[in-house]
Structure 1
Amino acid sequence: MKHKPILRYTANERTNHWLVAILFFMAALSGLALFHPALFWLSHLFGGGPWTRILHPFMGVLMFVLFLGLVLRFWRANFITATDRQWLRRVDRVIRNEEEGVPPVGKYNAGQKLLFWTLLACMLVLLVSGVVIWRAYFSAYFGIDTIRLATLLHALAGFVLVLSIIVHIYAGIWIKGSVSAMLHGWVSRAWARKHHALWYREVTRDERPDTHKGAKP
C-alpha cells in the first residue's frame, strides 16, 4: 500500500480540463486575429475572417460553460486560508526550491488558488463584455459608450487570461509530475507528500511528518 499511487484527477475532471484548454487556444487565436490587423492571418485557421467572427463568440461561451464544470468541482479546494497567506509570505523559498519553513499545503497551494480565482474573474468579464459586443445578437441593445467600454474590458481580460495561462503552463512544467497527473490522473505518494502534504494526509490518513524531500512523481 505504501507504494500505491494516489488518484489526483478523475477521467471526467481530466476530460473537462483538456476541453477547456483546447477551447481556450481556439478562442485566443481567433480573438487575436480579430484584435489587430497584423494578426488577421490567424483567421485562416478558422476558414477566414467571416467564419472567425462567427465562431469566436460561440467558442468563448462554450469555454465558459465547460470552465464552470471545473469551478463546480474544485471551488471548495480553492478557498484562501491562513496557511495559504503564510505560504505566500514565503513564496521566495518555494521559487528557490527551499522548503524549510514553508507550511504544508492542501490539494492546491496559494499560487494555484489565486490563479483559479483570476481565471474565473477573467472568464466572467469576457462573458459579460463579449455579450455586449456580440454584433449578431446583442450589441444593438447597448449604446456606443457601453460597447466601447466592453471592448476595452474584453481585451484587458483576454490579455490577463493569456498571461495567467502562460504562468499555469510554466508552473505545470516546473513542478515535475503536474502535467502527468492531468494526463493520467495518478501521482506517487512521495510526490503528494512532498508538494501537497496536507492533501496527502487527508487522502491517506497518514499523519507522519514529511521526510521525503527529494520525491519524484
Structure 2
Amino acid sequence: MIRKQILRYTANQRTNHWLVAILFFMAALSGLALFHPALFWLSNLFGGGPWTRILHPFMGVVMFVLFLGLVIRFWSANFFIRNDGLWLKRIGRVIQNEEEGVPPIGKYNPGQKLLFWTLLLCMLGLLFTGLVIWRAYFSVYFGITVIRWAMLLHALAGFVLVLSIIVHIYAGIWIKGSVSAMVHGWVSRAWAKKHHELWYREVTRDEDPDRPIRKG
C-alpha cells in the first residue's frame, strides 16, 4: 500500500468514468459519420452505414445511463460555494500554477464544476433530442418540424459536448497528477493540499499522517 496518500477515486468510480469515456468516443465517431458525407468513412469502424445507424443511438443511451452513475456519485461535490467565485477572480494565478493566495476549494474547482453541469445539460439534450429522431422507435410520434429542430439541437449539444471533453482532457493533462488519479485512484497529500485544500482538510481530519486515507 502506498503510504501518505489519499484515495480520490474508488475502483468503481474509475471504472464508471472510463466506460463513459469509451462510449463517448464511440458515440462521437459514429455521430460524426452520420453528420456529414465527408465523414461517412468513419462508419467503417462500426461495420458500415446501416450498423452505424443502428448502434449509435444504443451507445448514446448506454453512455447516458452510465453517466448518471457519475452524476449520482459526484452530484453533491459540484455545488458552488463562496470560495469558487473568489477562485475564479484569481484564475490567472491558477493558470500560471501560482496558487499561493488563491482561496481554498473543495474536491472540485469551479472550472470542473462548470464542466460537470455543462456535460449534464448536453447529455440530457442529446438524450431527449436523440429519442425524437430515433426512427426505429420514436420519430413516428413527432412531426417533421419537431424532428428537424431536434436534429439541429442534437448536433449543437454534441458539438458543445465534444468541445467540453477536449477541455476536460487538456485540463487533466495540464494539472499533473489528475490523470494518474483516475488511473490508480490515489493522490499525494501535497497534491490534494495544493489544488483542493478544503477537500484535503475534510479527508485528513483526525487521521494519522503516516497512514493512507481511504476516502473519496
Partner of residue 155, structure 2: 155
Q: TM-score, normalised by structure 2?
A: 0.93
Give the share of equivalent positions with the same residue, in percent. 84
Give the counterpart letter for 2:205 in structure 1.
Answer: R
CA–CA distance in structure 2, aligned partners of residues 20 and 112 of structure 1:
17
Correspondence for 1:89: 89
Distance 1:144 1:181 in 2: 47
Shift of 1:101: 2.7
Q: In the alignment, is the contact (CA less than 8 A) between 2:27 and 2:60 conserved in 1? A: yes
Structure 2 distance, partners of 1:114, 1:179, is 19
Which residue is equivalent to 1:102?
Answer: 102
Runs (4+) of structure 1 exceeding 3 A deviation are none
Question: Equivalent residue of 1:80, what SS?
Answer: coil
Contact 2:6–2:186 (CA under 8 A) maintained in structure 1 = yes
Q: Is 1:77 aligned to 2:77, yes or no?
A: yes
Q: Deviations over 1:181-200 (max 9, x none)?
A: 00000011111111111101
SS in 2 for 1:124: helix
What's the offset of the Cα at 1:19?
0.2
What TM-score results when the alignment is normalised by the length of structure 1?
0.93
Letter of the structure 2 residue corresponding to residue 142 of structure 1 = F
Cα root mean square deviation, aligned:
1.1
Between 1:85-94 and 1:113-122, the stretch displaced more is: 85-94
Please give the secondary structure, in 1, of the residue aligned with 2:102. Answer: coil
- Partner of 1:135, secondary structure, is coil
* Structure 1 stretches lacking a partner, 5+ long: 207-217
Aligned to 2:34: 34
Residues 177-217 of structure 1: per-residue CA shift (max 9 Å, x gap): 100000000011111111111101100017xxxxxxxxxxx
**Aligned residue-pair number:** 205
Is 1:44 paired with 2:44? Answer: yes
Preserved CA contact (<8 Å) 2:99 2:194: no
| Equivalent residue number for residue 118 of structure 2 | 118
- Amino acid of the residue matched to residue 105 of structure 1? I
Which residue number corresponds to residue 133 of structure 1?
Answer: 133
Unaligned runs of 5+ in 2: 207-216
